[in-house]
Amino acid sequence: MAESIAPAFLIAVPHLLDPNFRQSVILLLQQDDDGAFGLVVNREAPMFLRELCRDQRIDYSGDPGKRVRLGGPVQPEQGFVLYGAEHDQLDGREVAEGVLVSASTDALSRLCADPGGRFQCYSGYAGWGPGQLEREIKEGSWIIGPAVPHLVLDPPGDGLWERCLGDLGIDPNLLVPGGSEEA
């Protein structure tokens, strides 16, 4: 396998029409010979975080309007939290500079009890089998960009896809379908 590009943003090209990934930005957390794993960072679920916490019997003292985010179509019952390094007392794994991930209910409980903490809660994830992501990149389905911690922890909302493309100097209206073809 080629060298891992994780951590990075995978930014969907405009002609990627799969409803799970259309105009998505994925924080690629891991890529190795066994496949790849990431979280869609620009999709909100209809569920409020306070509702999830109530269902899980977790005390929540944060923003009542904060929503759970849709991390991807794989195992939607699996939860993850991405949080800032200011929560270094939690047992998580750093996945980008200043951004940690955990699948622990204890981590979620502690984050929800701290109204000043920066974190996002995700349901599900995006996953690829061995070589699948590399093929999709070669086919032109994804644009690779740098993982920007503040865009993960304090996302600008619906405009993240356009912002990430713009930060790379790309106008989505000028992208045309294509990819590399083998001779």
From residue 119, give the alpha-carbon distance in Å to each of 27, 56, 151, 155, 167.
14, 18, 11, 10, 23
Architecture of the structural domain at 8-174: 3-Layer(aba) Sandwich (3.40)
Chain-wide mean pLDDT for the chain? 91
Calpha distance 169→115 (Å, rounded): 36
What is the pLDDT at residue 174? 83
What is the pLDDT at residue 177? 67
Q: Would you list the domain boundaries of the chain?
A: 8-174
Label residue 182 by pLDDT band (50, 70, 90): very low
Sequence letter at residue 111 = L
Label residue 116 by pLDDT band (50, 70, 90): confident
Phi, psi angle pair for 120, to nearest 5°: -130, 140
What is the pLDDT at residue 80? 97
**Chain centroid offset of residue 78 CA:** 14
Q: What is the pTM of this model?
A: 0.92
Sequence letter at residue 20 = N
21 versus 179: the higher-pLDDT residue is 21
Count helices and strands in the chain by DSSP H and E runs: 5, 10
